[in-house]
Structure 1
Amino acid sequence: MKHVSILVPAGDAVVGSIEGPHKVLSQVNDLLAGAGQPPAFQIELVGLTKHKTFNRGLFTLHAHRTIDEDFRTDLIIIPAPHGDLAEAVALNHDLIAWIAGQHAHGAEVASLCLGAFLLAATGLMDGRQCATHWLGAPQFAAMYPAVHLVAEQVITDEQGLYSSGGAYSYLNLVLYLVEKFVSRDMAVCCAKVFQIDIGRRSQSPFVIFRGQKDHDDEPIKKAQEFIEQHFAEKLSVDELAAQSCLSRRNFERRFKKATSNSVAEYVQRVKIEAAKMSLETSRENVSEVMYSVGYSDTKAFRTLFKRITGVSPLAYRERYSRKSLPLAA
């Protein structure tokens, strides 16, 4: 039986990312008991204190153990902190050290959503792939440059160090762990019980591109704003550099440093974000949307759209159109 420690962190946290894995893993034990088999997991909440309130006192969690107790665990699950992420890391200094110590004794570690910030703070993810919520990706990249951030992925597995995408996609990682430690059949059964799309591996369709402007390079910031206002036009790097009174080479270097995107990538992301909005809100066909954001090659547009979002333009519209469809009679 695998001992699982679901952490109860200091500061505020997303309570669902504590209760959720506890519920799924408990369901596994219940299903096994119904089949006359022993439980797969011993599940405990582990915190800095025995009692912790969240969401301004609305929820209170009672930990089974504190990190001051002398015990070993097999799997640590780090929930998502809520609020100021740098502050969350500072508040959980002792918990982060405990995670690293348990890993040194053989424990595996899984972060859920923004829990990646606490996992990365251990140093264990340096040089490894890590996922997190796409909203936190820019700050994560700035705080942990040694970690290989894969913001589009839902699950990463780095030899016993796991991470997941944002919000409720953490349940995909929990199912992945069920499959790994129990069986594929059990993971599929849990997916049906909780109605989770077990096959999802990308969070790209959910990403809303917001150009990184949290920097002090004013000429680059103005170039970003120009791109966002004139995305339907044909934009050249030379013209953008000239507007910024910079050489092309210097402009491209500073743009990449400030935004984490090349100029071409940034223009593409802005165009595709505009196309996504049109597909969500308008009745224009795909070709009309394509022309409205400045593309004329249908194949190139569809290829780029799918590379960035993970789905075709038509599939995106079918999934996210804000024009509600009547239920079938």
Structure 2
Amino acid sequence: MSQASPPTEIGILLYPHVQLAAVYGLTDLFNLANRFATRQRPSGSPALRVSHWQETEAAEAVERVFDTAPGTPGPPDVLLLPPSFGEPMTSEEAAPLARWLRQRHAEGTTLSSVCIGAFLLAETGLLAHRMATTHWTYAAVLAERFPDVRVDTDKLIIDEGDVITAGGLMAWTDLGLKLVDRLLGSAVMLETARYLLVDPPGREQRCYSSFSPRLNHGDEQILKVQHWLHASGARQVTLPAMAECARLEERTFLRRFHKATGFRPTEYCQHLRVGKAREMLESSKRTVEQIAVAAGYEDPGAFRKVFQKITGLSPGDYRSRFGLNGRA
């Protein structure tokens, strides 16, 4: 009889002035989703593990202070920075936590933030040259304090694969359901949303799920390449460049990349580019040709073929079905 796989851990960081309603609300949401998912597991073992993390009195030490599956080793699969009713932490105040978060990210943990939590996430340097969102009242402050972050508060959630940011104070419900969809599937997400009487996030209701890369595989050299691809949008990257980033010979890199991620490097890059294209088709009025170039494709014809292969729809049909500007 095969042994049940360990539960996927979602950690919630309790930093100064954190909104406790969000902390406990997220904990309840994930525990409810875990209840629904556990019913589907033959072993009946938990599918999700929820933990709370907090700085201790010891300098720069962050420990679990709550855990639904104590004793299981390893870093969390996801770390979530909830909103706060206080002002954003200063760089000096945030430095110890930012260092700790960078270390977890380097181990394969996906980092996510809600509202003012984006400031702490930005202190890690991991949002540099990436899109991010926060509460609209703090957009200008975030952009001024971190000029290398591309702030876009028109979007409620921005998913960069290994880092996810959500907007306003109550966006924790949307982010929580998005993580449930990513980790447990759309059926569990929808059941959780229905039980809580919360509207599911728009994209997660659709029949074409978003790309959810595997980041907790433990291969540091491959993870380094994944982080680079997500930060660059996988534009203008080549196999030699990826192998060089990993400091591996090309054949070794190909073998280890596929083992770690389940994709060939070209397929992985295609999924990342198509994900960006989907967002632009949903929310912008750019032409398909302009979106193809912005997503990293010089040939719009090649872009259309890849898009159709991954989503099952042409870019035009996708926009007609899911685009905000194309809906009746």
Q: Normalising to structure 1: TM-score of the pair?
A: 0.53
Please give the secondary structure, in 2, of the residue aligned with 1:64: strand
The answer to whether the Cα contact below 8 Å between 1:132 and 1:166 also exists between their aligned partners in 2 is yes
The answer to whether the Cα contact below 8 Å between 2:116 and 2:135 also exists between their aligned partners in 1 is yes
Structure 2 residues without counterparts, runs of 5 or longer: 1-6, 58-63, 68-72, 204-323
C-alpha distance in 1, partners of 2:89/2:181?
33
Matched, 1:8 2:10: no
1:82, distance to aligned residue in structure 2 (A):
2.6
Structure 1 residue aligned with 2:45: 38
Structure 2 residue aligned with 1:28: 33
Structure 1 residues without counterparts, runs of 5 or longer: 51-61, 202-309, 312-329
The answer to whether the Cα contact below 8 Å between 1:154 and 1:173 also exists between their aligned partners in 2 is no
Please give the secondary structure, in 2, of the residue aligned with 1:137: helix
Please give the secondary structure, in 1, of the residue aligned with 2:116: helix
Structure 1 residue aligned with 2:77: 74
C-alpha distance in 2, partners of 1:76/1:4?
6
Please give the secondary structure, in 1, of the residue aligned with 2:127: coil
The superposition leaves residues 199-218 of structure 1 with CA deviations (integer Å, 9 ceiling, x where unpaired) of 357xxxxxxxxxxxxxxxxx
- Pairwise CA RMSD: 2.4
C-alpha distance in 2, partners of 1:199/1:162?
14
Written as runs of structure 1 = structure 2, the 5 A alignment for 1:140-159 is: 140-159=142-161
Letter in 2 for 1:41: L
Structure 2 residue aligned with 1:173: 175
C-alpha distance in 2, partners of 1:143/1:32?
41
Of residues 4, 9, 17, the one that matches 2:22 is 17
The answer to whether the Cα contact below 8 Å between 2:37 and 2:184 also exists between their aligned partners in 1 is no
C-alpha distance in 2, partners of 1:23/1:156?
23
- Paired positions, count: 187
Written as runs of structure 1 = structure 2, the 5 A alignment for 1:18-167 is: 18-35=23-40, 37-49=44-56, 63-64=65-66, 71-87=74-90, 89-167=91-169
The answer to whether the Cα contact below 8 Å between 1:172 and 1:200 also exists between their aligned partners in 2 is no
1:130, distance to aligned residue in structure 2 (A):
0.6
C-alpha distance in 2, partners of 1:154/1:107?
22
The superposition leaves residues 112-169 of structure 1 with CA deviations (integer Å, 9 ceiling, x where unpaired) of 1211111111000111111111111111111111011111111111122101010112
1:72, distance to aligned residue in structure 2 (A):
1.8
Larger Rg over CA atoms: 1
Q: Normalising to structure 2: TM-score of the pair?
A: 0.53
C-alpha distance in 1, partners of 2:131/2:162?
12
Letter in 2 for 1:107: T
Letter in 2 for 1:76: L
Identity of aligned residues (%): 25
The superposition leaves residues 87-112 of structure 1 with CA deviations (integer Å, 9 ceiling, x where unpaired) of 3x532321111000110111111101
Letter in 2 for 1:7: L
Of residues 195, 198, 201, the one that matches 1:196 is 198
C-alpha distance in 1, partners of 2:111/2:186?
21
The answer to whether the Cα contact below 8 Å between 1:109 and 1:161 also exists between their aligned partners in 2 is yes
1:71, distance to aligned residue in structure 2 (A):
4.6
The superposition leaves residues 268-287 of structure 1 with CA deviations (integer Å, 9 ceiling, x where unpaired) of xxxxxxxxxxxxxxxxxxxx
Q: Residues 34 and 71 from structure 1, CA distance in 2 versus in 1: closer, same or farther, beyond 3 angstroms?
A: closer
The superposition leaves residues 217-272 of structure 1 with CA deviations (integer Å, 9 ceiling, x where unpaired) of xxxxxxxxxxxxxxxxxxxxxxxxxxxxxxxxxxxxxxxxxxxxxxxxxxxxxxxx
